[in-house]
Amino acid sequence: MLDKEQKKAYQREYMRQKRSNKKGLTSVRPKDKNVRPKELEYNDLMTHLVDPLKRCKLQAICDAFDGSPCGKKVTFGYHGANLDEVRQMLNLTAGVV
């Protein structure tokens, strides 16, 4: 049998290893230079405004809620622009696309 000091030393080492295993992994940056950083990615609304097919669908959704009191309550995405603001953005970018 192990004496008390050996048991304590064994328990301390066991807990030290267990705690070190719980530490999270550090984030590693990809070495590929073609990967776009997160802050430079376009949000979904910008993607929908420039894609002709998605833009057409977005226009149809805005037309369906035109004059409805729900137009200010329905948003594009989570905490996104409401449909009235989306309609304004569609009108502003109409000549570009």
- Chain centre to alpha carbon of residue 23: 25
The answer to whether the Cα torsion of 77, 79, 81, 84 is positive or negative is positive
**Contact at 8 Å (CB) between 63 and 70?**
no
pLDDT (tens, 9 = 90+) of the chain, 97 residues, equals 568 888 888 888 888 887 777 666 555 555 555 655 555 556 778 888 888 899 999 999 888 888 877 777 888 877 778 888 888 889 988 887 6
Distances (CA, A) of 12 to 18, 23, 67, 91: 10, 17, 70, 67
- Outline where the chain has alpha helix (H): 4-22, 44-50, 52-64, 83-92
**Contact at 8 Å (CB) between 20 and 52?**
no
Q: What is the pTM of this model?
A: 0.53
